[in-house]
A and B are shown apart, each in its own frame.
Chain A
Amino acid sequence: MKKQKHKNALYLSDRQPLAFAGKIGVLMMYIILASWAAAIIWPLYQMIVSAFNGRQGSYLILNREFEFSWEHFEYLFEETLYLTWVKNTIFIAVTTAIVILLIVSFTGYAYSRYRFKGRRASLMAILLIQTIPTFAGIAAYYAMHTIISNIIPAFSRQMMLVLIYAGGGIASNTFILKGYIDSISTELDDAGRMDGCSSMKVYRLIIMPIARPMLAVIGLWSFIGPFMDYLLPRVLLTSPQTYTLAAGLFTLINDIRNTNQPAFAAGGLLTAVPIVIMFILLQNQLVSGLAKGSVKG
C-alpha cells in the first residue's frame, strides 16, 4: 500500500530525474560529506566527553570508561587562573571590537562616499598590506610598545595586543564596509543633507542604521579574533596573570609540571560560551535586506 502511494506521488522537483550514474554520483557525494563531518565532529565529541569524564587522569586516554564528573571544571576554576584569563580575553576582545567598529565606520564611509587624492592608491595599499602576516612585525611591536609605554606608562602589553588586532582588522574591514556602503544609494545621503544633516549626522542617523548587519558581522569577527589567537599573546604577554584564554590554556598541555589535558578540554569547551553569548546578542542585528524599500519602486 505504502509503495503504491510512493509510485503515484507527483514528481515535483524542477530538475530532471537522476539517471543511474547520477544516483551513484549523489551517493558518493554524501559519503564524502559524511566522512568530512565525522572528521570534524569526532575530536569535538572526544573533547566534550573527556571534559566531563572523571576517569581521565592528567593525560587524555581514549578508553571506554566514563564517569560523569565536574572535577576538571573545578580544577580549572580553583587551581588555575582561568577566570583571570577569561576576563583578560573579554577585555581585549571587547576593546578590539569597539576600536575597530569606531574607526572602520569612519574609514569605510569616507572611502565609499568621498573622492580625495590618493584614494585608489591607499585602498590598494590596504589590500597589499593584508598579504603580510601580522606576526612578521613582532620586532616592531616590541619597539612600539617600549616607545609608547615610555610616554604613557599605563600602556600595557594587553593594550599593545588590542592595537595590533585593531590595526590588522581595520584594513580588511574598511574594505568590507566600503563595499557594503557602496551598495546604499547616495540619494539617501543627498536626502539627508537636504533634510538638514551634517556629514556626521548623515552617517550616524541614516547610513549606520542601514549598514548595521555588516557592522554586527565586523564586530563579531573582531570579538572572536582574540579568542582564537595564540601566537601573539604568547609572545607579547609575559606573566600568566595577563594571559588570554588561548595562551593560558596552552600552559595546561605544554608544561609537564602542570599538565592537565582534561582541564584543557573543559576550558576549550567553556571558551565557546562568551562567543555564543555575543552571537545571540547580535543575532537580531544580523538581518540582511534592511535597505529594502528605500529606493526603487
Chain B
Amino acid sequence: MKVELKNIGKKYENRENFTLRGIDLTIEEKDFCVILGPSGCGKTTLLRMIAGLNSVTEGDLLFDGRRVNKVAAKDRDIAMVFQSYALYPHMTVYDNMAFSLSMRKERKKIINERVMEAAELLQITEYLHSKPSDISGGQRQRVALGRAIVRNPSVFLMDEPLSNLDAKLREHMRVELVRLHKKLGTTTIYVTHDQVEAMTMANRIVLMNDGKIQQTGAPDEFYEKPGNIFVAKFIGSPTMNMFDGCITDGNFVFDDGVVRIVPSEPLKKLLDPYEGKNVSVGIRAERFEKDSIHRNNIKCTIDVIEMLGKEKLLYCRLSNDKEIVISAPGYNRYEEGMEYTFGFDDSVVHYFNTETGERINK
C-alpha cells in the first residue's frame, strides 16, 4: 500500500507549539522506509499518526489515495510492533498472536492456520504455549513480529523494535527483518534513532530533526551527498569533520589559512556567489590519504590513536588546535605526538552554506 503524507502537522493538547509541521512524504508500495532522527525529533509521533494512535492536527494522510485521517486504528489495515513489544502478559504466545484475528471474529480454523504459518516463519513453534514471561527477549521480539504478521496487513509499522535487544541479537534480527520484508513484500515504516539500522535495512531513509524532514533518499545518497550540515553530521561514524571558514579569492580558507582548499573548476562557478561569505566544508574521516598526490593537504599532529582492528582512528590537532578525526587502515603505522600531512581528493569535499546549512555542491 502506498502511504502519502501531505502537509501533515501535529499539535498536542496543552502544548503551545506544533510538534510536527509541514511534513510531506510519499512511501511507495513495498518500500522499507526508515524514519531516522535523534530523540525528541517527532519521529514516533509521526508513526503514531500513521497508526491512528495520535490524531492528525492538520494535513492529509492518504492510504492508496484514500484519506484516512479520521479512520480508527483498527480499520486502517496496519499492524504495529512496539518498542517494548507490548505482549499481553496473561495470554500464551499463541493467544497473543491469535488475538487480533479473534477480535475480527475470524473462524478458528483460519486463525490456527495463520498463527501456525507465522510461527513457522519466525521459528517460534516450540513455545507457542508459553507465557511471554517465560521466554527470552529475542523470542518475545519474534512473537511481537508474529502478532503483526498474522494479520497480513498492508503496512507494518515498527517503533524501534530492536532497541531492547543486546548487540549480537540486534545484528541478527536486522538481517531477519530485511529477509522477512523481502519474503512478504509488505510496505514497512520503521522508526529508529540508530543510523546503522537505517543504513543497513532501508531502501529509503527519512531523516528528521526538530519536527521537520531534513532529507529523504536512499542510504548511499545520505552518505555521499548529505543535503545539509545536520545530515552530514548525523550520518556516519566517526562524525564528519567540519570546518567553518569563508571563500576568499575563489578558495576556501579556514582560520587564516590553517586549511586552504582550492576547489575544482566546475565547483568554482558554484562557489562564485559565496565570495567573501561564510561557508562550511565537511570531509569524512576515511577520505584523508597519507603521502597523497592531491593538491589539497592539511598538516596535523596526532593526539590519540584508537585501534579498532580493521581501522585506526587518529584524533589529530591542526596548528590552531582544531580537532579532526582521521580513519586509517589498521596496518598503517602512526605515532602519537608526530606531525603528518594528509591529502584529499576534490570530489570528497562537501560544501555547505554556513547560514542556512544547505549543501552547495549538489
Chain A interface (Cβ within 8 Å of chain B)?
Answer: 115, 185, 187-188, 190-197, 201, 206, 209-210, 290-297
Contact = CB atoms under 8 A, between A and B. Distances in A.
Nearest to B141: A297
A194 B133 contact: no
A297 B137 contact: yes
Interface in B146-167: 147, 164-165
Given A194-B79, A297-B165, A210 B137 contact: no
A288 to B, nearest CB: 12
A195 B53 contact: no
Given A194-B73, A210-B90, A296 B84 contact: yes
Contacts of A295: 84-87
B53 A193 contact: yes
A293 B132 contact: yes
A297 B164 contact: yes
Given A191-B80, A297-B140, A290 B86 contact: no
A296 B135 CA distance: 12
Contacts of B324: none
Contacts of A209: 90
Contact of B87 (A196, A201, A290, A293): A293
Given A294-B89, A297-B137, A195 B99 contact: yes
Given A293-B140, A294-B84, 14 more contacts: A115-B13, A187-B86, A188-B88, A191-B86, A193-B53, A193-B74, A195-B100, A196-B104, A201-B103, A290-B89, A293-B87, A296-B137, A297-B141, A297-B165
Contacts of B89: 210, 290-294
B137 A190 contact: no
15 contacts: A187-B84, A190-B82, A190-B86, A191-B88, A195-B147, A196-B104, A197-B103, A210-B90, A290-B90, A293-B134, A293-B140, A294-B89, A295-B86, A297-B85, A297-B141
B253 interface: no
Contacts of A185: 84, 86
Contact of B103 (A115, A195, A291, A294): A195
Nearest to B133: A293
Contacts of B131: 293
A205 to B, nearest CB: 8
A197 B133 CA distance: 23
A95 B164 CA distance: 45
A205 B84 CA distance: 19
Given A195-B99, A196-B100, A296 B164 contact: yes
A192 B74 CA distance: 9
Contacts of B165: 297
A192 B82 CA distance: 12
A291 B131 CA distance: 11
Contacts of A293: 87, 89, 131-135, 140
Nearest to B153: A194
A73 B135 CA distance: 54
A255 to B, nearest CB: 52
Question: Which 5 interchain pairs have the tightest Cβ spacing?
Answer: A293-B133, A297-B137, A295-B84, A297-B164, A195-B100
For B74, B87, B89, B164, which residue has the most chain A Cβ atoms within 10 angstroms?
B89
A6 to B, nearest CB: 42
A294 B86 contact: yes
Contacts of A190: 48, 51, 53, 80, 82, 86
B78 interface: yes
A119 B131 CA distance: 36
**Chain B CB within 10 Å, residue with most, of A196, A197, A210:** A196
B35 to A, nearest CB: 17
Contacts of A192: 88
A212 B60 CA distance: 41
Interface in B66-92: 73-74, 78-80, 82-90
B139 to A, nearest CB: 10
A191 B82 contact: yes
B83 A195 contact: no
B90 A187 contact: no
Contacts of B90: 209-210, 290
A187 B83 contact: yes
A296 B85 CA distance: 7
Contacts of B135: 293
A201 B137 CA distance: 27
A192 B78 CA distance: 13
A103 to B, nearest CB: 23
- Chain B CB within 10 A, most for which of A195, A197, A209, A291: A195
Nearest to B99: A195
Contacts of B132: 293-294
Contact of B85 (A197, A206, A294): A294
